[in-house]
Structure 1
Amino acid sequence: MANSPQIEFLPEPGMDVRQLFILLHGVGGTPDSLLPLAEAVRAAFPTAAVLIPEGFEPFDGGGAGRQWFSVRGVTEENRPARVAAALPALAAYVQQAQQRFGLLQSDTALAGFSQGAIMALELVQAHDGMAGRVMAFSGRYAELPKTAPRYTTLHLLHGSADPVMDVALIQAAQTRLDELHGDSTIDVATGLGHELHPALIQRAIVRLQTCVPLRSWEAALGLDQSPPDGTTVH
């Protein structure tokens, strides 16, 4: 299944689609690179539709890969504008998929690797609650958030030895989210580099299966505050 423009997996015939997962590859990548993650999601959530679109632009580094935004000449100063320009097309794609399956935003999860993780994080930053969950592998924010999403739970997963996106970037993001009373978790795998490693995939599945969203915890207790330790309950 080489260089497919989009890959999708649906539940077995006769099963209703109850969840939607949209997986976003890294810069210069293709949907095929996310097949291990897709297979793990399918095994854990058999009633889910799993969609893996290709980046909406040809990779300007050459080859058959795709990108969500250009990294040619990218800087800390111009990255936010590039991401913002790429978000409307992704938002439209997500909304169309939700309409196709008749699912709510809360039934939707986004997962991204590297540049795909940037897109997933920034999409729910711009459109709070467009997805109920985000799994950001080896990613970062285009710029640290000034507010935290209220209706999206964020799962940040990273390798401690990542040479492309330093782990300090995502740790700083987690610190900021904590300060903003955000609903997020972070898992850092010792010794791993910039890769979608099976250990991180498995940890993401555990997070999805066991973490109770902060908003649900507060609603159940009739509170508008965080748990005593300020983290997601799991």
Structure 2
Amino acid sequence: MTSSELDGPRLAPAAGGAPKQLVVFLHGYGADGNDLIALGKEWAPLLPHAAFVSPHAPEPCAMAPMGRQWFDLSMGDMSIIAEGVKRAAPALDSFLDAELERQGLTSQSLALVGFSQGTMMALAVGLTRQAKPTAIVGYSGALATMEGLPAPGQGPAILLVHGDMDEVIPVDAMILAREALGQAGLSVQWHVSRGIGHGIDGDGLRLGGEFLKQAFAAAGTAD
């Protein structure tokens, strides 16, 4: 799978002109890029100079014929998930490089936002890229692998958000990810959305947008 085969809906900066930041949404299992691109419209007031793109995952989803998957999903075996992430990573990595070049931006201006399986991809790729993104926001996901983590203090800013009533990926997965990344010396913020299942509520959406705005400002790519 090559970067040229990954594509999806895009939103230009609300303020017009060339973008100063690039936010890439990574959708969950059985969905496609259209599932998350509307978040860009919600965040446009906070990030008026950001371009948004939400690529469709590379594989058709066996369990949801109209949807896509980054890799075949078997939540009962994390080793299978880790291998799936590794197989899907090169295509996403190449897509990010190509998209940054297309927009005339560097990785300091890049943020990855994942949901569920997309969070697994955002963490795996975002933490192992040679030129790491400024920020990663992960909703309702998990940490699939600890391989190739950056040195303490060298990684992107990370925000993990999870519903405490999540019936697909239990909130414990977020807690385990937070602890593992923290022990590796990475900066992790987190939020538990009370009474929320496998989804994103208003508080989680607001926190994600504010987190990205702050991360871009800290990286010197603010509006």
TM over 0.5: yes
1:198 alignment partner in structure 2: 202
Q: Which runs of 5+ in 1 are unaligned?
A: 217-234
2:32 alignment partner in structure 1: 30
* 1:151 corresponds to which of 129, 134, 155: 155
CA change 1:146–1:167 in 2 (3 A) is farther
For 2:31, give the aligned amino acid: G
1:85 alignment partner in structure 2: 87
CA change 1:105–1:215 in 2 (3 A) is closer
1:76 alignment partner in structure 2: 78
* 2:106 corresponds to which of 101, 104, 107: 104
Deviation string, structure 1 residues 81-116 (Cα, Å, up to 9, x no partner) = 111010000000000000001101010001010001
- Size of the alignment, in residue pairs? 212
**SS of equivalent residue, structure 1 residue 181:** coil
Measure how far apart 1:214 and its partner are.
8.7
- Same amino acid, percent of matched pairs: 26
* 1:209 corresponds to which of 209, 213, 223: 213
**SS of equivalent residue, structure 2 residue 91:** helix
TM-score (normalised: structure 2): 0.86
Measure how far apart 1:163 and its partner are.
1.2
CA change 1:107–1:146 in 2 (3 A) is closer
TM-score (normalised: structure 1): 0.82
Contact 1:23 1:110 (C-alpha < 8 Å) held by counterparts: yes
Q: Which runs of 5+ in 2 are unaligned?
A: 1-6
CA change 1:146–1:52 in 2 (3 A) is closer
1:182 alignment partner in structure 2: 186
- What is the CA–CA distance in structure 2 between the aligned matches of 1:143 and 1:60, rounded to whole Å? 24
* 2:173 corresponds to which of 161, 169, 172: 169
Q: Which has the higher contact order (CA 8 A, sep 6+)?
A: 2
Moved more, 68-77 or 206-215: 206-215
- What is the CA–CA distance in structure 2 between the aligned matches of 1:128 and 1:162, rounded to whole Å? 33
Please identify the structure whose Cα radius of gyration is greater.
Answer: 1
* 2:47 corresponds to which of 25, 45, 48: 45
Indicate the RMSD between aligned Cα atoms, in angstroms: 2.4
Measure how far apart 1:68 and its partner are.
0.6
For 2:88, give the aligned amino acid: A
